[in-house]
Amino acid sequence: QQQVKQSPQSLIVQKGGISIINCAYENTAFDYFPWYQQFPGKGPALLIAIRPDVSEKKEGRFTISFNKSAKQFSLHIMDSQPGDSATYFCAASFTGGGNKLTFGTGTQLKVEL
């Protein structure tokens, strides 16, 4: 059972544009929603995360929007740069039971000049 669905699978954005990646979850017990950035052959790096008590969190060019009633959250990358080209994963976990992360299937982002 895939508990976190991520879309799109791939995304091409022009330099300076906005990249938007969406995730939807099923388990209402989830209370932590991180986004990871992964470059080829490297481990994922924690980018930004949100708890369900807020609807938006911004760190630099990266923003998470969270809609608890719709059970959806999204990553917005403003002023996208070629260096942002990577695979992005959303994930979710809940307090207790080891805080295990359930991941989406990833989005390959390519930012073109």
Partner 1 sequence: DGGITQSPKYLFRKEGQNVTLSCEQNLNHDAMYWYRQDPGQGLRLIYYSQIVNDFQKGDIAEGYSVSREKKESFPLTVTSAQKNPTAFYLCASRAAGGSYEQYFGPGTRLTVT
Least distance (Å) between residue 79 CB and partner 1: 25
Residue among 30 and 77 whose Cβ is closer to partner 1: 30
What lies within 8 Å, CB to CB, of 7 at 6+ separation is: 21, 22, 23, 107
Q: What is the DSSP letter of 20?
A: E
Least distance (Å) between residue 41 CB and partner 1: 8
Residue among 16 and 60 whose Cβ is closer to partner 1: 60
Secondary structure (H, E, C), 56-78: EEEECCEEEEEECCCCEEEEEEC
Least distance (Å) between residue 44 CB and partner 1: 5
Q: Which residues bind partner 1 (CB under 8 A)?
A: 4, 6, 32, 34, 36, 41-46, 49, 51, 89, 91, 93, 98-106
Residue among 17 and 72 whose Cβ is closer to partner 1: 72
Output the CA–CA distances (angstroms, integers) from residue 18 to 21, 45, 64, 72, 80, in the order listed: 10, 21, 13, 19, 6
The overall longest dimension of the chain from CA atoms, in Å, is 44
Least distance (Å) between residue 16 CB and partner 1: 29
Residue among 41 and 83 whose Cβ is closer to partner 1: 41
